[in-house]
Structures are given as C-alpha cells and as structure tokens.
A and B are shown apart, each in its own frame.
Chain A
C-alpha cells in the first residue's frame, strides 16, 4: 500500500467534516455488522454481556473507536507519531490481530455507503479506504 497523497488527505478531511457529527452512529453500526458478518471477531468481546447489533456495549465501543478515527483525521499528516499511544495499547494490551483492522475498515466503508449514498462516491471511497489502511498500519507499528 502507498502513502496518502495531498488529494487523498483533502478528500478525507472534507468528507469527514460532513459526517463527523454521525461518528458514534457510524461506529456503532460498523461494529454491529462486524460482529454479525465476521463472527470470529466476537472472540475479542467475551467480556460483554450483549453482542447483538445496537446493544449498549456495542454502541459505547463503536463511539470509542470512531473518536479514534476522528483523532486520526486530525493527525493525518503524521499518523505514526499521532497514533503512537493507541498503537502501544493495541500491541501490548489489546493484542488485536491486525487482520481485524481490515475487517472493521470494510464495515465502516459499508456503513458510509449506507448512510451517505450520494457523497460516498468512488473517489471518496478510495481516499477513505487508503486512509483507514494507513490508520491500520500506524496501529500495527508497535506489534513487532
């Protein structure tokens, strides 16, 4: 995967400005879908009482994850440095297998298509896909 061009960053920032107020809802829906469509991801949440779509822990965690994405948008010019502590968290404490970043990214993109069908053009799609891949890479930095 290549780095983000100036155009990619501009596209991501513009699109994010439009949708950021829906961050928590996007996160909740993406996480709900991930747990249903990719049941192997449920293994990370055995401590939750309720993993059904839209449940309280799913909503709360979806909001948490998307505020991390919002933070990444703000730090888009240096994701490695900007997401350093989140990377350490994922590497040493959470130890989420990095293949799951791709899975969650896919579900975020599906939710964006559902919620913003006219704005989520192919050009926005490619910029967001690249951005989420870059975020995943930054989160994986400290793994080994």
Chain B
C-alpha cells in the first residue's frame, strides 16, 4: 500500500477540486498526440490528427481527453487502494485496447505540464508537484499491473 503524508493528501485534494476535467483532459491528450506523435497509433478512428491545429480542434480528442482525465476520479476516491481500484481498467487497457503501458507515463507527463501551466508557481509549488507526480505515478503503476 502507498503511504501518503497529510501534506500530499492535501495537495492532491486541493489540485483535484480545482481541476476541470473538460479543460485539462482535452489539453493533455492533444499535447500527448503532438509531443509524442507515435501515440496517434491508438486513435486511427479519430479523424484528422494531421497537424497540431487539427488535433487541438478535434472533437473526438476533446471528448476522449475528458473521459481519460475523469478516470483519475477513481484514484482520488480510493487513495488507499489505488492498485485494486484500477484492476479492471488495467485488464481492459491490456487485453482489449492493447495500449503499451509506457504511454500511461508519457500521458501523465503531459497532464502534469497542463496542471503546472494552469495553476502557476504559487499553487504548483515543488511540494505540490511532488505530491501530484507521485499520485500520477501510482495510477500509472496500477494501470500497468494487470498486464502479462
């Protein structure tokens, strides 16, 4: 089980309560598709991903970004058992979606960049960054757990 300090729980709760998944999610997914273009392999049915502008304007990217970001709610609500809480989603990503789990790590990076840009230096302090990145790392690990 992951140990969370009170400061870490507070940081994650503070950030999460101020995150609009409909805003951050689409930005993070769009960023992923531009910065790590090989990730587009999973979205051949999404239509036009040919340029950064097309990706930013793509409604399927926006919708899916919102869905994925909303998935973090599971972790926020199950901080003391994130691994078990994501077991089903992990199986799905492995056996149905066939997503290389390294993609979870790079998406987490894109989410962190978006959150950093949104909250700025007075909220997204080094301490908050530590808590947030630890939180995402635990989710990333949980999503990769059921792969074999």
Contacts and interface: CB of A to CB of B under 8 A. Distances in A.
Chain B interface main SS type? helix
A122 B52 contact: yes
Q: What is the size category of the interface that chain A forms with chain B?
A: 20 to 34
Nearest to A115: B121
Nearest to A114: B116
Given A37-B126, A125-B34, 13 more contacts: A29-B121, A35-B126, A36-B127, A37-B129, A53-B125, A114-B116, A114-B120, A114-B124, A117-B117, A117-B120, A122-B55, A122-B56, A126-B35
A139 B48 CA distance: 38
Nearest to A34: B126
Interface in B1-37: 30-31, 34-35
Interface in B81-101: none
Interface in A107-144: 109-110, 113-115, 117, 120-123, 125-126, 129
A58 B30 CA distance: 34
Give 8 closest A-B pairs by Cβ, nearest first: A122-B34, A36-B126, A117-B117, A113-B117, A126-B35, A37-B130, A113-B116, A113-B113
B58 interface: no
26 contacts: A29-B121, A33-B126, A33-B129, A36-B127, A36-B130, A37-B126, A37-B133, A53-B125, A109-B113, A110-B112, A110-B113, A110-B129, A113-B113, A113-B117, A114-B120, A117-B117, A117-B120, A120-B117, A121-B52, A122-B31, A122-B34, A122-B35, A122-B55, A123-B34, A126-B34, A129-B35
Interface in B108-136: 109, 112-114, 116-118, 120-121, 124-127, 129-130, 133
B126 A32 contact: yes
Interface in B69-91: none
Interface of B: 30-31, 34-35, 52, 55-56, 109, 112-114, 116-118, 120-121, 124-127, 129-130, 133
Contacts of B56: 122
A29 B129 CA distance: 12
A33 B132 CA distance: 13
Chain A interface main SS type? helix
B74 to A, nearest CB: 24
B80 to A, nearest CB: 22
A106 interface: yes
